[in-house]
Amino acid sequence: MPKFSVLDAQDAIEAPEAGRSTGTAAFSKFMAVLQRIADAGEPLNIAQLAAQTGYPRPTVYRIVGALIAEGLVIESLRGATVELGPRLMSLASRSWERSDLRVAATEALQTLRDATQETVHLAVRSGAEMVYIEKLESPHAVRMASRIGTRVTLYSSSVGKAYLASLDTTTRDGLLQGLRLERFTANTIVEPGALIAELEATRARGHAEDREENEAQIFCYGCAIRGPDGQPAACISVSIPLFRKSATPMETYVKPLRAACEAVAERLAPMSRGAV
């Protein structure tokens, strides 16, 4: 792979996008390329990044060069590809360590994982998706393949459905209008009317269920953490391989899950007032 040249961000832009300043358009393109690198299951090369972003190869080449210069991505040892760099990982680590939400959730997540013996996730909404900001692994040999930073949809995941079901109807329906319902498994709900009915049922029972809708052979329970303003601040899920699922899920998973969410909400209240 030829060495990437270090150019100013403006050089990565052929022309400003309609209605946006050159600087804003440049930043958006940088973020689009960086997000593709972060979301990829394996390191990507310039051709793959160009194909996935729709940007010309010279543009992608210059953006990657600037990202490498800043330590946000690095050239992979596997060949002519790039992956996330140490500076980005350091920034993310500092953010997670200082997050009031993550601090408030630490003890409750550990208690939940120990009680259920299954993988637990803490997730927050990011645009039209939920992103895992914490994960505690199951002690069992068979575990979830997810990681911190993994993004899941609002409509097929238990954390996403728990989040949507906790919103008022107007806000919820506004988010639903912008969703593209893609099928991941035979169980994924892709019909808008059926999804709304599922969210109403979720609201009524107080927890969400992902019945192999996001990933085959994985059943998840999710519940929202309400902030001091009453709005969902985050969600917690318990993920179980189907073969290991308890015959008494309410006692085994749902009650500990609800208790965890309530405990985090109680911890968040004083933090919002400036008390630690």
Give domain limits for the chain: 9-90, 99-272
The helices-and-strands tally (H runs, E runs) of the chain is: 10, 8
How far, in Å, CA of 25 to CA of 34, rounded?
A: 14
Q: What is the structure's pLDDT at 138? A: 93
How far, in Å, CA of 268 to CA of 102, rounded?
A: 10
The stretch 212-239 carries a mean pLDDT of 95
State which amino acid sits at residue 255.
K
Cβ atoms of 47 and 55 within 8 Å: the answer is no
Q: What is the structure's pLDDT at 8? A: 40
**Any idea what the Cα angle at residue 151 is, between residues 146 and 153, rounded to 5°?**
115
Segment among 123-127, 176-180, 266-270 with least mean pLDDT = 266-270
Residue 237 has pLDDT above 50, yes or no: yes
How far, in Å, are 124, 151, 158, 192 from residue 223 at the CA level? 12, 17, 8, 21
The mean of the pLDDT values for the chain is 85
Residue 98 has pLDDT above 70, yes or no: no
Taking only the tens place, the pLDDT of each residue in 49-85 is 999 999 999 999 999 999 888 888 888 766 688 888 8
Taking only the tens place, the pLDDT of each residue in 34-46 is 888 888 778 889 9
How far, in Å, CA of 157 to CA of 163, rounded?
A: 10
For the domain covering 99-272, report its CATH number: 3.30.450.40
The stretch 9-36 carries a mean pLDDT of 67
Q: What is the structure's pLDDT at 100? A: 74
Name the pLDDT band for 87 (thresholds 50, 70, 90).
Answer: confident
Taking only the tens place, the pLDDT of each residue in 130-164 is 989 899 999 998 767 788 888 899 999 999 999 99
Name the pLDDT band for 15 (thresholds 50, 70, 90).
Answer: very low
Segment among 2-11, 24-33, 175-184, 190-199 with least mean pLDDT = 2-11
Q: What is the structure's pLDDT at 229? A: 86
9-90 CATH, one of 1.20.120.80, 3.10.450.50, 1.10.10.10, 3.30.70.60: 1.10.10.10
